[in-house]
Amino acid sequence: MYFSDLGTIALILAAGFALYTIVASVFGATRDKPLLVVSALRSTLVVTGFLLLAAAALIVSFLTHDFGVSYVAQHSSSTMPWYFITAAFYGGQEGSLLYWALMLSIFSAVFVFTSRRAPAALVPYVLATLMGIELFFLVMLTSLSNPFVRLPHPPANGVGLNPLLMDPGMLIHPPVQLLGYMSFSMPFAFAVAAMITGKLNSDWLRSLRRWSLAAWTFQTMGLLLGGWWAYHVLGWGGYWGWDPVENAALLPWLTSTAFLHSTMVQERRGMLKVWNLFLVIASFALSIFGTFLVRSGIINSVHSFAYSSIGPFYLAFLIVVIAFSTALFIFRLPRLQAEQEFDSVVSREGVFLLNNLLLLGITFAVLWGTLFPVISQAIRNQTMTVGAPFYNQVVGPLFAILIVAMGIGPLLAWRRTSSAALWRNVCVPVVMAALCAVILPLVGVTNVAANIGFSACAFTAGAILYELWRGVRVRHNHGEAYPVALYMLFNRYRQRYGGYLVHLGLVLLAAGIIGSHFFQIQKDAVLKDGQEISINGYRIVYRGNIDMHQPGSEVVIAQVQVWRDGQLLTYTYPGRTFYRNFDNQPASQISILTYGLNDLYVLLDNWDGPSQATLRVFVNPLMPLLWYGGVLMLLGGVICWWPVKKRASVAVARSAATAKATEQLAIAGTGDGGDK
């Protein structure tokens, strides 16, 4: 018996127990049989156990080079390092489906162990929904996309992993991105359970808050790692090309971001209930849509798999999800009436609604641009593509307004804000934006669009830093040292100040995008040994090529010196790697050097013998800010959903005056003393 046979048996048994969980959960809830619900909870853990067994069987098949398994033969070879062999687990369609199913089962198991925190009436239907999604993937894995299918005549060696995936980024980007997609299943399951039971008060929102924050954090990490992978591997000097699969990953991030903001309005004012249900459903539907795009073959992308037979089944599943959710949504609309009305547009809830409209506007623009080639082909029988200029012209202005709204929101009170309070709170950010708008042209930044973008970033950064300073100052005035005061703010109001950190990270990321987009410099040159090119104060001196043969690959490396102000800064070695079985698809080894806030990006584009090469060089201003901002966003997201320890009253005793002053500051300055 092969390990692959064990994996197939485990998948079949997991599908059987997933089906049992659905039936037991629904019957236990509708017939008031608690023991059936308990049985369903335990059955969910059994599903997790069998999927762990299936995943282990596939990993062992890879590590033992069992090329009798078709999936192993297609995505690995005996010359691959063990870490890339491990990455091959999710490097193809079958493995990525198994990974999705495995992680969903693990999340479901976590829910089982924490189910006592959720409303009891929702638990059976959350389980049934999760296992319904799980069952779809298990049916695909046991029929159309089985990773354990064996070949009648095993090859002596495998084909190997796609060269574009032979990169350290592949070890983490795909699993994190798939984890982000999968994570939206949890909020969706809670939404379905709330609609089925009719329990649509704020309890279901509080139950899924941490799940939603975790899903948003994973999706954010997946997007950042995807941009980092594209920047380091694809060799075009950029990190985001508005590729359809990139767009598909962005869509659920946009709607989930809108959801996280509007939930605060429902919990605080009992408003935007329709928005919240719609955004949860949309986020999950868009995550399924993204995986459909990757596997359907209807688009061309460096990220997508070739056409496969499961594309239509994914589309059918997406249609079922949308139809089922929409029917429940319409059925429960009478119970989704707002408990209060908007008192004023100039209020925190007004800005949150504006944020939602802007995020949905960006979502629609990106979705339309992504699907336009398919729509044009269907209507005119002619494929018309939408390029980066469309997205830049449409999304750019909306994003700039969103950045400004993001800075205004925390400065406004709930219900309404007086003109005096509004000016008192925005004067510092306005001054910072004005200074930015005046100083930038004086130092040579004359691009109007870039200046507007930088000024918007300065406004929001000023608003966030001003809020942080006010909170720290109040606590310091009541006896806490500045570092302690800052720590206590984040520790006591994690969601609020974690949100500020996310916003500040997004501002830095936006500044990095503006700098690298508007001010990138590129120069190509054919050089012989000893020749050089100059770009933005750097001298790039070419010193010949090195041709190296390694097991399973050949590497061509250009030797390059980098000089500035008459000093040799470093040697760098851009190159190309040719893998056996992929001779026509070399992988680039790009040299990226960071000096201050600029990236020097050197690519070996072509070569002729040992002493001639074509180099492509970019200078990307402010690129490090993009990655720093991304890390700050992730840190803020983790702070928001990190569990708060329950402490005894004695342990948390502190100055009553400090607590009262902090709350009064929040009420007077922003109109909200609660978490964000």
**3-state secondary structure (DSSP) of residue 548:** strand
Q: Are 606 and 582 in contact (CB under 8 A)?
A: no
Q: Are 262 and 276 in contact (CB under 8 A)?
A: yes
- Cα dihedral sign for 509, 272, 133, 129? positive
Q: Are 520 and 621 in contact (CB under 8 A)?
A: yes
The pairing of strands 521-528 and 575-579 is: unpaired
Tokens coding 81: 């390092």
Q: Which residues contact 175 (CB under 8 A, 6 or more apart)?
A: 90, 99
pLDDT at 657: 43
What pLDDT digit, counting tens, does each position of 452-490 carry?
999 999 999 999 998 898 889 988 888 888 889 898 888
pLDDT at 314: 85
The pairing of strands 553-564 and 575-579 is: antiparallel
Q: Does residue 300 or residue 414 have the better pLDDT?
A: 414
What pLDDT digit, counting tens, does each position of 596-621 carry?
999 999 999 989 888 999 999 999 99
pLDDT at 1: 65
The answer to whether residue 429 scores a pLDDT higher than 50 is: yes
Burial of 81 (0-12, 13-18, 19+ CB in 10 A): exposed
What pLDDT digit, counting tens, does each position of 7-48 carry?
999 999 999 999 999 999 999 999 989 999 999 999 999 999
CATH architecture of 521-621: Sandwich (2.60)
pLDDT band at 340 (very low <50, low <70, confident <90, very high): confident
Q: Are 350 and 342 in contact (CB under 8 A)?
A: yes
Q: Tell me how far apart the alpha carbons of residues 347 and 349 are, in angstroms, rounded to a whole number.
A: 5
The label of the residue with tokens 């075009």 reads 236
pLDDT at 414: 78
Burial of 257 (0-12, 13-18, 19+ CB in 10 A): buried
Tokens coding 632: 């700050």
What pLDDT digit, counting tens, does each position of 254-268 carry?
999 999 988 888 878
Q: Tell me how far apart the alpha carbons of residues 108 and 277 are, in angstroms, rounded to a whole number.
A: 21
Find the helix packing angle between 273-296 and 185-197, rounded to 10°. 130
Can you tell me the mean pLDDT for 559-587?
A: 86
Burial of 605 (0-12, 13-18, 19+ CB in 10 A): middle
What pLDDT digit, counting tens, does each position of 194-225 carry?
999 988 887 888 888 889 999 999 999 999 99
pLDDT at 298: 63
> Average pLDDT over the chain, rounded to whole?
86
pLDDT at 195: 94
Beta strand extents in 500-611 (DSSP E only): 521-528, 532-535, 538-550, 553-564, 567-572, 575-579, 587-589, 591-595, 598-607
pLDDT at 133: 96
Which of 254, 252, 245 lies closest to 227, judged by CA?
245
Domain locations in the chain as residue ranges: 1-166, 396-518+625-642+652-669, 521-621
Q: Among residues of the chain, what percentage have pLDDT more than 90?
A: 52
The answer to whether residue 662 scores a pLDDT higher than 70 is: no
* Max CA separation in the chain (angstroms): 83
Hey, how many other C-beta atoms are within 10 angstroms of the C-beta on 662? 22
pLDDT at 411: 83
The label of the residue with tokens 């930044």 reads 445
The answer to whether residue 652 scores a pLDDT higher than 80 is: no
pLDDT at 9: 95
pLDDT at 584: 63
Q: Tell me how far apart the alpha carbons of residues 548 and 255 are, in angstroms, rounded to a whole number.
A: 48
What pLDDT digit, counting tens, does each position of 499-531 carry?
999 999 999 999 999 999 999 999 999 999 999
The pairing of strands 553-564 and 538-550 is: antiparallel
The label of the residue with tokens 């319409």 reads 330
What pLDDT digit, counting tens, does each position of 54-85 carry?
999 999 999 998 899 999 998 888 878 878 88
What pLDDT digit, counting tens, does each position of 273-328 carry?
888 999 999 999 999 988 777 766 566 555 554 446 777 888 899 999 999 999 99
pLDDT at 292: 78
Tokens coding 538: 């750097």
Q: Does residue 644 or residue 403 have the better pLDDT?
A: 403
Burial of 535 (0-12, 13-18, 19+ CB in 10 A): middle
What pLDDT digit, counting tens, does each position of 380-397 carry?
777 777 888 899 899 999
Cα(first)–Cα(last) distance of the chain, in Å? Answer: 55
What pLDDT digit, counting tens, does each position of 161-189 carry?
777 777 777 778 888 989 999 999 999 99
